[in-house]
Structure 1
Amino acid sequence: MERQQVQDELAAALRTEEHPEVAAGLLRVLGGLGDDRVTGPAVRWLRDPVAGPSAARALGAVGPGTAAPHLRTALTDESLSPHTRAAAAAAVGTGGRWDAVWLLLSLLDDPDDVIRAGVLDGLETLVENGLRPWERHPVAWALTDHLATDDRHTWRTRNALDGLTQALPDVRRLADNAPSGEVLAAALSLLDGDDPTDEHARSDVRRFVRRLDDPHEPVRYEAVLGLERWTEAGGPLPPDARRPAAGWWLSLRTPPHACARPPPGSSAHWTPARRKQIRPESTRTGDFRPRAVMCRVSPARPVHTGPMRVVIMTAGSRGDVAPYTGLGAGLARSGHEVTLATHGLFEPLAAGSGVRFHPTPVDPHAVSHSDRGRGLHASTTGLGKLLRAASMARSAAEEMTDSLVHAARGADVVLAAGAVAPLGRAIAEGLNLPSLGLFLQPQHPTREFGAPMLGGRSLGTLGNHLGGRAVLSAVDRVFTQAMHRLRTRHGMALGSPSASRRAHERAHWPVLHGFSERVVPRPEDWRPGLDIAGYWWPHDTRTLPGELEQFLAAGPPPVFVGLGSATVPDPGHLGAEIVRALRTAGLRGIVQQGWAGLTAHSGEDDVITVGDVPHALLFPRTAAVVHHAGAGTTAAVLRAGVPTIPVPVQFDGGFWAARLVALGTAPCAVPLRRLSAGTLAPALRRATGDPRHRARARELARGLAGEDGVAPVLAALDRLTS
């Protein structure tokens, strides 16, 4: 049955259903699908104490335009059950209409605990999604006052304040004069002392130090976490903190005694509670606390001792997908059932690999050729390009969310590529599945080199670290709407992307990197759990086209020139410059069209234009490779053992280009903005004329041939699910 038929049947059943519990289930399902036909029945069921909360949530899910009047009425109608009014409050926050803040603030002091819980959930959603400038201070004042007075919802209030910088002055005053240990711990948790250049952060560090000997364990624990954030950001450890250092670092890694583990023999699975917990239903009277104070007992995950159903999630260009076909094939050979979930455009890459394919929406080729995609060339800095790309990626991430959830529902474990790590990790958490990161680039902050996604240029130890943190923050914002969709459409209890990332970082969420330590040594300041596995070579059983074979046989090894998935402002002009450079250097050439649409109109037989060809077969037969320095093409060049000239275009291209030059396989890099016949021709002469580059490339290739990037992933899966 088609999806539309299913929705039609659900809508028809809901119109005639008379049993409250059945109606509640239908409301949840149809509301989760965003079907406007839920509106009429939902309004009818609002007054039922059983189906009312589901009706309010369904109204919130179909959009604020249709639901707003009904939700406002439900929110203020005292004849409705508290649980229904609480659900309406949370839904008002989700809708985010102009009057949402004022409606919720008016009920913040409601005498009913359940209603206040819903109001706080609604305010938290509004803060997460971004308040209007004139709303920020009133919300900050109201919530900080509430934090000091509502001992039933201390941690819900804290969660609503998270990220609201206008509240920090009052939160600091509260941290200095808190009415209870619980409130003090909550206030300390909001003081992110993670900027050594900020004088307020330095004063927060002194607050953390003063509380290391507090009689309340949650307070001590939050003080420890605050100092950890400070030292991770490069701040010096205060002298007063050095004396008890051993004790508080030990406590940092030991949950408070109040968090009791399940008794021996219990089937429950103990995990630290998340710092933020959001319940869409907003109907519980109990409070939610951060992991520093409360631990949660969740249903035990199945322990797998044999083959598992593995889903690998990724997104982006071909280079962001192809490595996972080889990794997936390796996992499949070991007996696992592997599904690759990514853009439908790349389904042919998995053919014959033994890996199942789950298509997701969004065509990255079309996105890169859109006006916004081509607009990336207007930015001249790595940060500018990253911010433009993040803006483009927000809608794509939300569009892919439902499909990725569907792929994960049939899995035992989620493996998330760096491009979708926050989303994949959140989906796994929402479905109570173990997860593992599989990154193709170093994404975690380090003092040893500049953030790769900003081009990799070193800004000094502190600048490198802060640049890495800036990238993480930008990536978090990409997934804000996607996480909101997980909460509202799929009912997952999740915090914001940044809160989720911080919690997983503290829990040492495992990440394996698909490159070799011969190419990028593991940074010494990385936390435990960040490991380098080795390259994952793409699965590719194609052969070279006959025309290309004839060209290779007709003369000396040519130079390959291709920019992969990168686009360029004027492909015709660039193609002409490439041909001129090849002829000036006296070399034959293979120009790959790629997503840039390059062509070589030479009128001679010394240059040929090709489409998509297997790099593993072609590169070893070339004199050198000129490429855009993406992670995937860089790996293919190193595997081939030939000299190279990187032409970084954007994002991590500058980082990989610098690594190739430092390794000695490239004489220099020629950034795209400076690429011309005059700059490329001398680089070609150096790459092909200096035997040291080829010797170094062959040496590295021999070392890489002895590595097995799949084995560490298999071992990590065993650890993750045992």
Structure 2
Amino acid sequence: MKVLILTLGTRGDVQPFVALTQELQRRGHAAVLGAPKRFAELVAGQGVVFAEVDDGPLRVLDGGSAVGDVASGGMGAKLALMRQMPAMFTRVLDDCWRLASTGPGRGADVIVHNGQVLAGQHVAEKLDVPAVLALPMPMYVPTRQFPWPGQQFPSWLPASMNRMTYAGMRAPAMMFGRTVDRWRAGLDLPRRRGRHDPLRRSDGGVAPVLHAVSSAVVPRPADWPSSATVTGYWFADRPDAGNGAGLDEAVWTGGSEPPVFVGFGSMAGTDPVATTRVVVEALRVAGVRGVLATGWGGLQEVPSLPDVFVSGEVAHETVFPRVAAVVHHGGAGTTAAAVRAGVPQVVCPFVGDQPFWGARMQQLGVAPAAVAQRELTVSALAAAIRQAVSDPVISDAARRLGERVRAENGVATAVDLLEQQIDGDR
């Protein structure tokens, strides 16, 4: 079996597919990972065939202000961002087809895609092979159990309306439909009904969906169709990650208690300098040492401080188990890594599904109430950090949840299901 994997998004949208590619290769299958070119270094050395896809709308994250404006709730910023993004997808679509038709993905028996890349089901239709939707969050399949994670909804929303909120997943078709249709026309694909819905196959049937999430974190909703599965997380460990992300050993041995990790990944916010000041002061008020990961600019470099250590991007799998708590933005990938590490969390969500994960961590008892970025103050963050590192109930819940997640092998389950899918379509 040959599998072409297509994904677009931030690190949390790429790293799970590295693990999937590795497991496919261990089983003797050919697999190619197509992902944004900015992640070439992340993937390097992990033994997978990596094919670059244009960064497309990820360039919005480089400036930072657009995401920060959206997070602060400005409708004008949301509309401006929507106008920019369709044109950014044309090269992404072209690259996906090139990989599948003449590139290293040529001859694939199945296309696995995360939906955000937009090209997955269309490439599969042109090649007349199955498409499998795979993603690290329960974003596409409606359920009464919880509202659509793509947006924060009021707590008073009745469960009877939860399924209706998944209409939010129609937004990509509205925003990018014309761009995709022009590209489809170039491939001589018809304007068939349901062509923009990744839950539908080109013949009208139901497409399989693999959720790379632990059932201990998101139990499979009873009202999901049989085509939707929860496999467990897909983790890919970097063999060269070391034991401290390049940080001096004094970070780990220089205090009576482990430090607190703080990192907001690719989320820069409207004023990273001010955010960094709040974080540093909150660590001081909470009375803890800290490790600041600057990531893509969400936190900035700070002057040399005795109890605050600055790093670039870190290997979550090696750093998180060594800290007292993880303060993060609530991205699906970072949340999964913190859960696996079995340490308390403090979630400071910006946009999208991040408030969903913040609420879920609180419900599971592994984190205090989330501190939204627009409400991020020294006192609020310091209080949350103190609670996370000192409450034995939170520590115990985090430890037990981590043990459950580490006992799973989600990526093996996912490959089992892919093999069954291909055998069933033959």
- Mark the CA change 1:659 to 1:331 in structure 2 (over 3 Å): closer, same or farther: same
Aligned-residue offset at 1:378: 4.6
Distance 2:142 2:309 in 1: 42
Aligned-residue offset at 1:481: 3.0
Please identify, of 593-602 and 364-373, the stretch whose mean Cα deviation from structure 2 is larger.
364-373
Q: Which residue is equivalent to 1:131?
A: none
Distance 1:712 1:327 in 2: 10
Distance 1:327 1:521 in 2: 21
- Determine if contact 1:386/1:651 at 8 Å carries over to the other structure: no
Distance 1:521 1:377 in 2: 28
- Determine if contact 1:479/1:497 at 8 Å carries over to the other structure: no
Aligned-residue offset at 1:391: 4.4
Q: Which residue is equivalent to 1:235?
A: none
User: Among 237, 253, 268, which residue is 1:553 paired with?
Assistant: 253
Alignment of 1:597-616 (within 5 A): 597-599=298-300, 601=302, 603-616=304-317
1:27-61 alpha-carbon deviations (Å, 9 max, x no partner): xxxxxxxxxxxxxxxxxxxxxxxxxxxxxxxxxxx
Secondary structure of residue in 1 paired with 2:35: strand
Amino acid in the other structure paired with 1:719: Q
Alignment of 1:271-282 (within 5 A): none
Alignment of 1:228-239 (within 5 A): none
Alignment of 1:206-217 (within 5 A): none
Q: Which residue is equivalent to 1:452?
A: 149
Q: Which residue is equivalent to 2:189?
A: 492
Distance 1:553 1:585 in 2: 19
- Determine if contact 2:235/2:411 at 8 Å carries over to the other structure: no
- Determine if contact 1:416/1:437 at 8 Å carries over to the other structure: yes
Secondary structure of residue in 2 paired with 1:418: coil
- Mark the CA change 1:365 to 1:548 in structure 2 (over 3 Å): closer, same or farther: farther
Alignment of 1:500-511 (within 5 A): 500-501=197-198, 503-504=200-201, 507-511=205-209
Amino acid in the other structure paired with 1:495: R
User: Among 74, 78, 91, which residue is 1:399 paired with?
Assistant: 91
Q: Which residue is equivalent to 1:325?
A: 18
User: Among 667, 681, 685, which residue is 2:386 paired with?
Assistant: 685
1:199-240 alpha-carbon deviations (Å, 9 max, x no partner): xxxxxxxxxxxxxxxxxxxxxxxxxxxxxxxxxxxxxxxxxx
Q: Which residue is equivalent to 1:660?
A: 361
- Determine if contact 2:263/2:328 at 8 Å carries over to the other structure: yes
Q: Which residue is equivalent to 2:122?
A: 426
- Mark the CA change 1:474 to 1:364 in structure 2 (over 3 Å): closer, same or farther: closer
Amino acid in the other structure paired with 1:438: A
Amino acid in the other structure paired with 2:178: Q
Distance 2:223 2:388 in 1: 34
Alignment of 1:238-387 (within 5 A): 308-362=1-55, 366-370=59-63, 372-379=66-73
Is 1:440 matched with 2:136?
Answer: yes
Aligned-residue offset at 1:325: 0.8
Gaps of 5+ in 1: 1-307
1:75-113 alpha-carbon deviations (Å, 9 max, x no partner): xxxxxxxxxxxxxxxxxxxxxxxxxxxxxxxxxxxxxxx
Is 1:701 matched with 2:402?
Answer: yes
**Between the two proteins, what is the percent identity of the paired residues?**
36
Distance 2:151 2:410 in 1: 26
- Mark the CA change 1:645 to 1:385 in structure 2 (over 3 Å): closer, same or farther: farther
Secondary structure of residue in 1 paired with 2:116: helix
Q: Greater relative contact order (Cα 8 A, min sep 6): structure 1 or 2?
A: 2
- Determine if contact 1:634/1:656 at 8 Å carries over to the other structure: yes
Amino acid in the other structure paired with 1:353: Q
Q: Which residue is equivalent to 1:563?
A: 264
Aligned-residue offset at 1:532: 0.4
Secondary structure of residue in 2 paired with 1:455: coil
- Mark the CA change 1:397 to 1:365 in structure 2 (over 3 Å): closer, same or farther: closer
Amino acid in the other structure paired with 1:429: E
Amino acid in the other structure paired with 1:549: E
- Determine if contact 2:114/2:133 at 8 Å carries over to the other structure: yes
Aligned-residue offset at 1:365: 5.2
Distance 1:380 1:367 in 2: 16
- Mark the CA change 1:581 to 1:423 in structure 2 (over 3 Å): closer, same or farther: same
Secondary structure of residue in 2 paired with 1:454: coil
Distance 1:414 1:394 in 2: 23
Secondary structure of residue in 2 paired with 1:626: strand
Distance 1:323 1:576 in 2: 32
Aligned-residue offset at 1:440: 1.1
User: Among 217, 222, 229, which residue is 1:519 paired with?
Assistant: 217
Aligned-residue offset at 1:363: 5.5
- Determine if contact 1:456/1:652 at 8 Å carries over to the other structure: no
Q: Which residue is equivalent to 2:170?
A: 473
Secondary structure of residue in 1 paired with 2:352: coil
Distance 1:365 1:494 in 2: 28
Aligned-residue offset at 1:386: 7.2
Q: Which residue is equivalent to 1:634?
A: 335
Over aligned residue pairs, what C-alpha RMSD do you find? Answer: 2.3
1:388-420 alpha-carbon deviations (Å, 9 max, x no partner): 655444223222111101222202210011323
Distance 1:502 1:329 in 2: 26
Amino acid in the other structure paired with 1:396: M
Secondary structure of residue in 2 paired with 1:453: coil
Greater share of residues in helix: 1
Secondary structure of residue in 2 paired with 1:452: coil
Q: Which has the larger radius of gyration?
A: 1
Amino acid in the other structure paired with 2:25: A
Please identify, of 581-590 and 358-367, the stretch whose mean Cα deviation from structure 2 is larger.
358-367
Secondary structure of residue in 1 paired with 2:31: strand
Aligned-residue offset at 1:488: 2.3
- Determine if contact 1:312/1:416 at 8 Å carries over to the other structure: yes
Q: Which residue is equivalent to 2:349?
A: 648
Distance 1:396 1:360 in 2: 12
Distance 1:590 1:376 in 2: 27
- Determine if contact 1:426/1:483 at 8 Å carries over to the other structure: no
Distance 2:80 2:352 in 1: 11
Q: Which residue is equivalent to 1:414?
A: 111
- Mark the CA change 1:312 to 1:378 in structure 2 (over 3 Å): closer, same or farther: same
1:361-398 alpha-carbon deviations (Å, 9 max, x no partner): 125553213464554245268xx987665544422322
Amino acid in the other structure paired with 2:161: G
